[in-house]
Structure 1
Amino acid sequence: MDELSEVFDIVEARGQVTGLFAARGPWVARAHGSSLLKLTVMVRGRARLSADGLDTPLQLEPGDVAILNGRSHLELEGGAGGGPPLEIEPEVIDLAGALDAAGSDGDLVIGGRILLNAAGQALLLQALPPVGHVRGAAPGSARLRAITDQLVDELTGRQLGSDFAVRQYSQLLILEVLRAYLEHTALPPGQLRLLTDERLRPAVTRMHSEPGKQWLLDDLARVSSMSRTTFAERFRAVAGVPPLAYLNSWRMVLAQRALREDDTRIGFLAANLGYTSESAFSTAFKREVGESPLRYRSRIRRERPTAENGPAWTS
């Protein structure tokens, strides 16, 4: 498994289509809420997106996607013609009927959100700006447009298995949006930027594949064909933390997944992650997570996170 796929799996990234509409003529849609990561997909037409933290409105063209990170207010205006704008309620159930009413030249917008566990929130919220913009016309965006078209087909076709297909295409939509964003945007120091660094990738791959090994800085520098000093400086500049601090944090992410998903004994888990004793592991876990491994396991299983409900566009 490549590193980005592994991270997606561990942070339990899931896509959810939560609002969609088709419209003809001037329209406006507003939202107030606290969802952490929202997506606005301009499938057809053009619109101006305003949000808190955005100095000037974002112009969305056909195929564009806006990523909204922790925004509490957004407004989307689109359509052409005179008269007052239609106030849109995006949670349209009969999208096929709405598309017929809008005609082939009407606007079409899909709203969604990215659901993550606590580790995923720490990873993506830190790496993404308040509002990100992925252009549908950018080189390499053909897959994104194709997935969006497939998603619309499933949402409007009402075929057998369409609910399952929508979930799968929503997952792929998230992946393609982040791929396009990573390819064309300078990221701040952090894990996402680290995963895109070609020179550091050999060391990151080895740490991910052998997290229980007692890695030394010299070993990791050698894997990446750098001097110890050059490797340490580059790693800290890209990841925001020293190599061994990153390794310890990665071990804790793996530990949290294991504690959520199975009944592995704490001592066995500690040994697999490179700790000399169960107490050493428990101390490190509590320092990183804020509670002991056993208490964490008990709490998570008692309070299993559920998918957020309700439309992405409403409070």
Structure 2
Amino acid sequence: MADDQLSEALDLVEVRGVLSSGIAERGPWVTRVPAAYPLPPSAAHPLKFLIMVRGRAQLSTDGVDGPIELEPGDIAILNRRTWLQVEGGAGDGPRREILPEIGVPAARLANDSGADDLLIGGRVELNPAGDALLLEALPPLGHIRAADAAGALHARLHQLFDEVTGNRMGSTFAIQQHAQLLLLEMLRAYVDQAELPPGWLRVLTDQRLRPVLRLMHAEPARHWGLEELAREAAMSRTTFAERFRAVAGVPPLAYLNRWRMLLARRALRDSDIPVRSLANELGYTSESAFSNAFKREVGESPLRHRHRMRSELAAVRA
């Protein structure tokens, strides 16, 4: 993924990795929680990740056959799961039922270096457009194995853990930045290790189709035709259309329309550009044609979307 189209897409959906919970335990233990924990269902974030810093554990969740084994440095990414169970620890006796501590228990992790198991949980925050990209691009459960991961991911994990446990000045800011970069390394590692489902993440990794995406992203207003795009991919029109749909999950022009809508959402929220001008910039023949396409994709008119997004942003900042 040498091109920077991944960064462009992640910027559009405003992906943000946030550490939210942790476990530091000795002896046999088990935790059974809704996947929304520690947030109520109404505020749940659909994408979670678990990092096995030290020790070993078994993770089970809905929609997955059997538990997966988490070893030191492994990461699990949970996509729209409703519950999860993690059990770990060694020794005799029954497993103690525990709940993850809300907020990463930095003090305990720093002072409890003899704990058998250290586990950090987090969530991925997305704007509404993220549903159209990242959630559709990932399976219900992704397992990134430390043994197969690149050195950059290992280094990022160590840096993050050092900040969590170091209690140094500016650590809150540093943890946020490391969590962001960790998320990027997680996606890179997952792409390298897994067979991706059809979606934007898979199409970004397709060597034959990446030049086509580069063109569509660079000139979204252009009226691209299948013949022209197929030539760029060095394929026949039929072969290109079939391959694109199989890899991206949608036909080429449907993908282009979705990309235009992502650009439109950001422009409506962040700028005062008139809807008519935005329609022209994105290649629509009229304001009404753009508004109809936007409403089909987003579920509300451009003006209503702008008003709602700005109202929500103002409420957050208040």
Give the TM-score taking structure 1 as reference length: 0.91
Moved more, 272-281 or 194-203: 272-281
Q: Does 1:116 align with 2:126?
A: yes
For the 8 Å contact 1:267–1:278, the answer to whether it is kept is: yes
Counterpart of 2:246 in structure 1: which amino acid?
Answer: A
Distance 1:235 1:57, change over 3 A: same
RMSD between aligned alpha carbons? 1.9
User: Equivalent of 2:62, from 52, 64, 68?
Assistant: 52
Task: Point out 4+ residue stretches in structure 1 off by more than 6 angstroms.
Answer: none
Give the Å deviation of 1:159: 1.0
Q: Contact between 2:163 and 2:175, CA under 8 Å: does it hold in 1?
A: yes
Choose which of 8, 12, 16 in structure 2 pairs with 1:10. 12
Say which SS state the counterpart of residue 66 (structure 1) adopts: strand
- The whole-number CA distance in structure 1 between the counterparts of 2:105 and 2:82 is 28
For 2:306, the equivalent position in structure 1 comes to 297
Which AA in structure 1 matches 2:111? D
Question: Quick one: distance in 2 between partners of 1:14 and 1:191?
Answer: 18
Using the TM superposition, give the Cα deviation of residue 245 of structure 1 relative to its aligned residue in structure 2, in angstroms.
1.6
Q: 2:267 aligns with which of 238, 258, 261?
A: 258
| Distance (Å, rounded) in 1 between the aligned partners of 2:121 and 2:310 | 30
- Give the AA of the match of 1:39: F
Q: Deviation of residue 190 (structure 1)?
A: 1.6
Select 2:76's aligned residue among 63, 66, 72. 66
Structure number with the bigger relative contact order (C-alpha 8 A, sep ≥ 6) is 1
CA deviation vs aligned residue, 1:182-214 (integer Å, no higher than 9, x gap): 112112222111111110111100100110112
Structure-to-structure mapping, 1:86-165, within 5 angstroms: 86-91=96-101, 94-103=105-114, 106-138=116-148, 140-165=149-174
Tell me which of 184, 189, 195 is aligned to 1:186: 195
**Cα deviation code 1:29-74 (max 9, x no counterpart):** 2211433111010011100111122221111011100111111211
> How far 1:141 sits from its partner (Å)?
2.6
Deviates more, 1:109-118 or 1:78-87: 78-87
Q: How does 1:207-218 map to 2 (within 5 A)?
A: 207-218=216-227
Unaligned runs of 5+ in 2: 37-44
Is 2:22–2:105's contact at 8 Å kept on the other side of the alignment? no
**1:227 counterpart = 2:229:** no
Q: Is the 8 A contact 1:212 1:272 kept in 2?
A: yes
Distance 1:101 1:197 in 2: 45
> Please, what TM-score do these two structures have when normalized by structure 2?
0.90
Distance 2:118 2:35 in 1: 22
For this pair of structures, how many residues does the alignment match? 305
Secondary structure of 1:53's counterpart equals coil
Distance 1:94 1:67 in 2: 21
Deviation for aligned residue 1:127 = 2.2
Q: Of residues 272, 287, 292 in structure 2, which corresponds to 1:278?
A: 287
Which runs of 5 or more structure 1 residues have no equivalent in the other structure?
308-315
Q: Distance in 1 between matches of 2:314 and 2:32?
A: 27
Task: Using the TM superposition, give the Cα deviation of residue 146 of structure 1 relative to its aligned residue in structure 2, in angstroms.
Answer: 1.1
Q: Indicate how the Cα distance of structure 1 residues 196 and 30 shifts in structure 2: closer, same or farther if over 3 A, else same.
A: same
SS of residue matched to 1:137: helix
Q: Contact between 1:21 and 1:95, CA under 8 Å: does it hold in 2?
A: no
In structure 2, the CA distance between the partners of 1:40 and 1:213, relative to structure 1 (3 Å rule), is: same
Q: Deviations over 1:162-190 (max 9, x none)?
A: 11111111111111111111112112222
Q: CA distance change for structure 1 residues 33 and 187 in 2, over 3 Å: closer, same or farther?
A: closer
Equivalent AA in structure 2 for residue 206 of structure 1: L
Task: State the match for 1:173 in structure 2.
Answer: 182
**1:23 and 1:107 in contact (8 A); partners too:** yes
Percent identity (aligned)? 59
Deviation at residue 217 of structure 1 after TM alignment:
1.5
Superposed CA offset, 1:90-119 (max 9, x none):
22665334443341x621110001111121
